[in-house]
Amino acid sequence: MSAHTKSVAIFDTTLRDGMQGLEINYSLEDKLSIAKKLDEIGIDYIEGGFPLSNDKEAAFFNHCKSMSFSHAKIASFGSTRKPGGKAESDGHIRALLEAQTPVVVIVGKTWMAHVEKVLGTTAKENLAMIADSISFLKREGREVVFDLEHFFDGYKDHRDYALEVLKTASHAGADVLVPCDTNGGTLPHEVSAIYEDLKSQSLAPLGGHFHNDCGTAVANSLAAVQGGAVHIQGTINGWGERCGNANLCAIMPNLTLKMGYHAACADHMEKLTSLSRFVAEKANIIPDKRQPYVGIASFSHKAGQHADVILKAAHLMEHLDGSLVGNHRQVLLSELAGKSTIVEKMKKYGSFEKNHPAVETLIRTLKDKENDGYEYEAAEGSFDLLMRQALGEYKQLIELKNYHLESYKTANAQSKTVGRMFLSDQGREVMGAAVCIGPVETLDGSLRDALSPHYPFLDGLRLTDYRVRVLNPESASAAKVRVFITSTNGDEEWTTVGVNENIVEASWEALVDSYEYYYNNHYEELPPEAR
Amino acid sequence: MSAHTKSVAIFDTTLRDGMQGLEINYSLEDKLSIAKKLDEIGIDYIEGGFPLSNDKEAAFFNHCKSMSFSHAKIASFGSTRKPGGKAESDGHIRALLEAQTPVVVIVGKTWMAHVEKVLGTTAKENLAMIADSISFLKREGREVVFDLEHFFDGYKDHRDYALEVLKTASHAGADVLVPCDTNGGTLPHEVSAIYEDLKSQSLAPLGGHFHNDCGTAVANSLAAVQGGAVHIQGTINGWGERCGNANLCAIMPNLTLKMGYHAACADHMEKLTSLSRFVAEKANIIPDKRQPYVGIASFSHKAGQHADVILKAAHLMEHLDGSLVGNHRQVLLSELAGKSTIVEKMKKYGSFEKNHPAVETLIRTLKDKENDGYEYEAAEGSFDLLMRQALGEYKQLIELKNYHLESYKTANAQSKTVGRMFLSDQGREVMGAAVCIGPVETLDGSLRDALSPHYPFLDGLRLTDYRVRVLNPESASAAKVRVFITSTNGDEEWTTVGVNENIVEASWEALVDSYEYYYNNHYEELPPEAR
């Protein structure tokens, strides 16, 4: 609607409040790689965690010191000092300083009932804790974000005290005051009315932090911005405690692409879909297909009348061009959309018309494979091999005759797996064997044992990622699984896919594709005896 | 907030617009059983489908005639008559009459661009089609709901024509006029402004129908009601085309439990969670754990400190008592869990002080296990066994001596796995064997083969979910994996966890815990020979 120049800072708490979500647990490596992606999309603040809580959290801040972020500021999170103490000698506050982040988030109590019943202190001491903690951190040169825990419940219960907390934090020098709807029970019309009331107070700039317990966290965030907030907190995919935090994957495009607000992320919204899926992959949670903007169904159209209109005039059937958020239209059951994508991909091997037999073959193969559970969006390596096969340009490296794995487990001892494998190598039968712990490692060992003598390039290849997803969990132990394997030669990286009811076999498929991909794409560089 | 007596009618389109959702397909039996449940919770209108589209849709209306609904009215759905024809002889309109529903929904074009480019008719003829269709159905004694397709886009593009459509339908006798945000691109502040504008028109009562493409469909529905709408359309779980329809599972409790509106469903909100899961079961879609009000995580609490407050005063940490919507509180375990969470969990076995030796032991065990990659917040079954071990109340069912798996793969044939297993069963050595495809299925088969003769209850246990997460993917094929297995006896459900570098061994651990959990928790019910 109306364009204006008001700016909003986007504050991501995927790595802190988001970690409170059910089944959410990021490793240190996950957290670091997510932080890089958040920076790339133009997130203004990345809240990395609670340095006092455990070593993993502290290690994150340590690693961040040596990383370069192009735009984002890293923030550590902690609470106000303890009742009766001093900020400079408080363990929580010290841990925040030691995290050495330019930004520090301090959370304080705003709801009188919490001050008395949970914190077990007085209204006055709570104000002193807030003032002391903020002003100490300001003296230490930090940018201070003050999170007002349970602000909305506190305001409804005891408005005067909630306002006093705001004023105290403002006077103590907080750079931004963030009313938090910690229990998630606030509705948009309440948010609007409360921010309207706050306008008349003379305070530091306001932010907003919402949870989705009423299904309105995104709308609450927009209402806060319209009510004057200049800083919005949320998480990627909206994952967080209980029903989650406000979903930045909806807030960012709503604010920048629809409402005309300015934010650093506005220039990178085409990375949104890929960011959403990256975080889902790290969380090992199947992304919500129906998620606004970034879900795979968000721009899908069922065949028939709607799809027809899409071809005539897409803007009549879509609220937004999906490519603006890095998503794409899916016309289900329509081959036309698919073919242009295929032709685009095949450009690597030349210029093909949509009705070229290789295009037709590839469309059919893809359809069959996708029905079987394969997915090529994240497995470009395997897709490359399918293209080569359709074009008759595929060179086989690994021709399996058979493999045999034996896993032994004796009580209280680590299991071991023995593998033997026969392959045909240009007519010769070659054999490999290995003893490892798990079956996948054993297959890889046996394969290398068989082929490395003739194909020394295998020694330079390394697997860097291995991911498993169960496709039909309801079939339990007989379920079909999809395995992705990412490999590298130290320079390039490629991902391949395998699907089977047997997880070992699915892994084998992805493993074979990984080596075949390298072999086919580096054939010309190989010494003649390794071709 | 403020209580008032304004009533809102809840119109459910799970069985019509909801069927446009990706992967959503209900059988006739599913549709009938869902309709019964919708009636039981006090839904006012149930839109059953498009009688002209296929036999299944027509059959639904036929069956409904002989069913008794305690409150809900059944509605059939169709579009206005064709350009240039007459309502009484139009195929669509005839099909609506033949469905013999007390309520008929007619959808008509509102956006000028759609009238011209999609319908290929004139602005004037579109108005005639609307007037003719509605007045004919009114003469036939039907209650007529008029859906204004693309109303919001039409209004923004050409306000006068959108208003003319509203007036035409109102004069023709429509009982309710329902502006539809068909493309889902409208934000709450726009909804408020547009309903404000409509107030000054003298029209039949207004409704609202929203899609979730901006993540604000629930908020849009609330804004419409606050702007004067007395009829809200949506679906159970918010499932529908693209990002879905407005989610009635959030709208109903927001309106009735929080905003004080009157609706027939207000008296049955304790059935909401079970309705949500019933529809998920029929759709064969795993319900969103994070869904507001009805998700299994909606009233879950993770962090140590929070859990502490829950014990002191739940209303300070929950926006609503979950039992009001038929949900329940869950206190989760995690690496941040404190002693009070543990003590709370141990209540199952008695009342323990925080410094009880079993509490101390359990804390230590949890810490070690979590360092090894175990995670218990989603694996209450395994946690129960740890508690029993700490308390010395654990009875071992499965004492493994050894197992041996052989996987054979020959080129172009599906791999097979042969398993043999020796267990000690109260001093006796028992043996089991199985041949299956994958190793996990084979282990399960061998275990059942060994134990079922003495423990017939094993036949009644079934695995319902199997999830794998690679913990250190950078170690590639030698990575450590965590496996979760969910099991059921048809009545209860429990989840167990295993971690190992060997995926087979991790699965085995989770499998053993699953059976041990049942054995320990149902020991007293077992026949003496199976104890």
A299/B226 Cβ within 8 A:
no
Beta strands in A227-275 (DSSP E): 231-234
Give residue B181's Cα distance to chain centre. 23
Check if A168 contacts B (Cβ < 8 Å). no
Minimal CA–CA distance to A214: which of B357, B249, B189?
B249
Distances in Å between the Cα of B153 and the Cα atoms of A257, A335, B156, B179 are 16, 29, 5, 10
Check: pTM over 0.80? Answer yes or no. no
Does A4 have pLDDT greater than 70? no
Q: Which pLDDT value is given to residue A3?
A: 47
Instruction: Break chain A into its structural domains and give their ranges.
Output: 9-283, 299-330, 399-530
Q: Smallest Cβ distance to A439: which of B219, B439, B443? A: B439
Check if A398 contacts B (Cβ < 8 Å). no
Q: Which value, in Å, is the radius of gyration of the alpha carbons in chain A?
A: 28
Element (H, E) at B408: strand B399-410
When pLDDT is averaged across residues A34-52 and rounded to a whole number, the result is: 95
Check if A79 contacts B (Cβ < 8 Å). no
Check if A190 contacts B (Cβ < 8 Å). yes
What does the DSSP 8-state code read for residue B258? I
How many CB atoms are located within 10 Å of the residue B475 CB? 16
Name the least confident of A205-219, B334-348, B484-498.
B334-348
pLDDT in tens, B236-267: 999 999 999 999 999 999 999 999 999 999 99
Rounded to whole angstroms, the Cα distance separating B140 from A309 reads 33
Q: Which pLDDT value is given to residue B22?
A: 76
B401/A410 Cβ within 8 A:
yes
Check if B213 contacts A (Cβ < 8 Å). yes
Output B308 or A239, whichever has higher pLDDT.
A239
Distances in Å between the Cα of A448 and the Cα atoms of A394, A401, A430, A515 are 21, 15, 11, 10
Rounded to whole angstroms, the Cα distance separating A499 from B366 reads 35
Q: Smallest Cβ distance to A400: which of B216, B399, B411? A: B411
Contact in structure between B150 and B110 (CB atoms under 8 Å): yes
Rounded to whole angstroms, the Cα distance separating B69 from B301 reads 39
The secondary structure of B319-345 as a DSSP string is SS-GGGGT---EE---TT--HHHHHHH
Q: Which pLDDT value is given to residue A515?
A: 96
3-state secondary structure of A520: helix
Interface test with chain B among A315, A468, A499, A508, by most B beta carbons within 10 Å? A468
Minimal CA–CA distance to A438: which of B481, B406, B502?
B502
3-state secondary structure of B471: coil
Please name the residues in contact with B341: beta carbons below 8 A apart, sequence gap of 6 or more: B304, B307, B308, B331, B333
Joined together, the tokens standing for residue A342 give 């295929």
Does B1 have pLDDT greater than 50? no
Rounded to whole angstroms, the Cα distance separating B379 from A140 reads 44
Rounded to whole angstroms, the Cα distance separating B287 from B271 reads 16
How many CB atoms are located within 10 Å of the residue A491 CB? 6
* pLDDT level of residue A1 (50, 70, 90 thresholds): very low
Contact in structure between B289 and B318 (CB atoms under 8 Å): no
Question: Which residues from chain A sit within 8 angstroms of residue B436, using beta carbons?
Answer: 478
Question: Which residues from chain B sit within 8 angstroms of residue A508, using beta carbons?
Answer: 409
Does A335 have pLDDT greater than 60? no
When pLDDT is averaged across residues B18-32 and rounded to a whole number, the result is: 84
Check if A488 contacts B (Cβ < 8 Å). no
Alpha helix (H) residue ranges in A302-403 = 305-312, 335-346, 357-371, 380-391
Joined together, the tokens standing for residue B179 give 């502006």
Question: Which residues from chain B sit within 8 angstroms of residue A501, using beta carbons?
Answer: 414, 437-438, 441
Give residue B521's Cα distance to chain centre. 29
pLDDT in tens, A473-493: 666 666 788 898 988 887 788
Q: Which CATH architecture has domain A399-530?
A: 2-Layer Sandwich (3.30)
Check if B241 contacts A (Cβ < 8 Å). yes
Q: Which pLDDT value is given to residue B334?
A: 60
A403/B437 Cβ within 8 A:
no
Q: Which pLDDT value is given to residue B288?
A: 86
Beta strands in A24-137 (DSSP E): 45-49, 73-79, 103-109
B502/A407 Cβ within 8 A:
yes
Question: Which residues from chain A sit within 8 angstroms of residue B302, using beta carbons?
Answer: 20-22, 241
Interface test with chain A among B2, B152, B243, B470, by most A beta carbons within 10 Å? B243
Does A329 have pLDDT greater than 90? no
Rounded to whole angstroms, the Cα distance separating A47 from B336 reads 18
Q: In chain B, which residue's Cα lies nearest the Cα of A463? A: B476
Joined together, the tokens standing for residue B150 give 């693309």
Q: Smallest Cβ distance to B303: which of A20, A316, A473? A: A20
Check if A465 contacts B (Cβ < 8 Å). yes
When pLDDT is averaged across residues A51-58 and rounded to a whole number, the result is: 79
- From B436's Cα to the closest Cα of chain A, the distance in A is 9
Alpha helix (H) residue ranges in B48-120 = 55-65, 91-98, 112-114
pLDDT in tens, A458-473: 999 988 778 887 777 6
Name the least confident of A105-109, A110-114, A430-434, B436-440.
B436-440
Check if A295 contacts B (Cβ < 8 Å). yes
Fold of A9-283: TIM Barrel (3.20.20)
Please name the residues in contact with B356: beta carbons below 8 A apart, sequence gap of 6 or more: none
Q: Which pLDDT value is given to residue B63?
A: 94
Q: Smallest Cβ distance to B117: which of A216, A313, A470? A: A313
Give residue B235's identity as a one-letter amino acid code: T
Quick one: angle between helices A28-40 and A55-65, nearest 10? Answer: 40
Check if A461 contacts B (Cβ < 8 Å). no
B405/A406 Cβ within 8 A:
yes
Question: Which residues from chain A sit within 8 angstroms of residue B478, using beta carbons?
Answer: 436-438, 441
Does B284 have pLDDT greater than 70? no
- From A350's Cα to the closest Cα of chain B, the distance in A is 32
- From A357's Cα to the closest Cα of chain B, the distance in A is 26
Question: Which residues from chain A sit within 8 angstroms of residue B1, using beta carbons?
Answer: 190
pLDDT in tens, A194-242: 999 999 998 999 999 999 999 999 999 999 999 999 999 999 999 999 9
Rounded to whole angstroms, the Cα distance separating A469 from A480 reads 9
Output B361 or A172, whichever has higher pLDDT.
A172
User: How many beta-carbon pairs below 8 A join chains A and B?
Assistant: 360
Averaged pLDDT of chain B: 91
- From A141's Cα to the closest Cα of chain B, the distance in A is 29
Q: Compute the half-sphere exposure of residue A229: CA atoms within 13 Å on the CB side of its CA.
A: 26
Give the angle subtended at the CA of B359 by the CAs of B358 and B365, to the nearest 5°.
85
Does A333 have pLDDT greater than 60? no
Q: Smallest Cβ distance to B473: which of A436, A467, A477? A: A467
When pLDDT is averaged across residues B509-517 and rounded to a whole number, the result is: 96
Q: Which pLDDT value is given to residue B2?
A: 45
Rounded to whole angstroms, the Cα distance separating B466 from B379 reads 12
Rounded to whole angstroms, the Cα distance separating B104 from B334 reads 52
Q: Which pLDDT value is given to residue A356?
A: 92
3-state secondary structure of A173: coil
B485/A466 Cβ within 8 A:
no
When pLDDT is averaged across residues B39-46 and rounded to a whole number, the result is: 98
Check if A65 contacts B (Cβ < 8 Å). no
- From B332's Cα to the closest Cα of chain A, the distance in A is 8
Check if B111 contacts A (Cβ < 8 Å). yes
A25/B316 Cβ within 8 A:
no
Q: In this prediction, what percent of chain B has a pLDDT beyond 90?
A: 67
* pLDDT level of residue B306 (50, 70, 90 thresholds): low
Distances in Å between the Cα of B441 and the Cα atoms of A54, A132, B412, B417 are 38, 61, 21, 9
Check if A246 contacts B (Cβ < 8 Å). no
Question: Which residues from chain A sit within 8 angstroms of residue B471, using beta carbons?
Answer: 27
Interface test with chain A among B376, B448, B468, B501, by most A beta carbons within 10 Å? B468
Contact in structure between A203 and A194 (CB atoms under 8 Å): no
Q: In this prediction, what percent of chain A has a pLDDT beyond 90?
A: 67
Q: Smallest Cβ distance to B468: which of A213, A215, A470? A: A470
Q: Smallest Cβ distance to A407: which of B408, B463, B504? A: B504
Joined together, the tokens standing for residue A247 give 């979903």
Q: Which pLDDT value is given to residue B333?
A: 64
Question: Which residues from chain A sit within 8 angstroms of residue B218, using beta carbons?
Answer: 214-216, 219
Does A525 have pLDDT greater than 50? yes
Please name the residues in contact with B253: beta carbons below 8 A apart, sequence gap of 6 or more: B269, B272, B293, B320, B324, B325
ipTM of the complex: 0.76
Q: Smallest Cβ distance to A477: which of B215, B296, B441? A: B441
Contact in structure between A231 and A263 (CB atoms under 8 Å): no
Q: Which pLDDT value is given to residue B95?
A: 94
Question: Which residues from chain B sit within 8 angstroms of residue A436, using beta carbons?
Answer: 478
B441/A463 Cβ within 8 A:
no
Does A342 have pLDDT greater than 90? no
When pLDDT is averaged across residues B166-170 and rounded to a whole number, the result is: 98
B476/A485 Cβ within 8 A:
yes
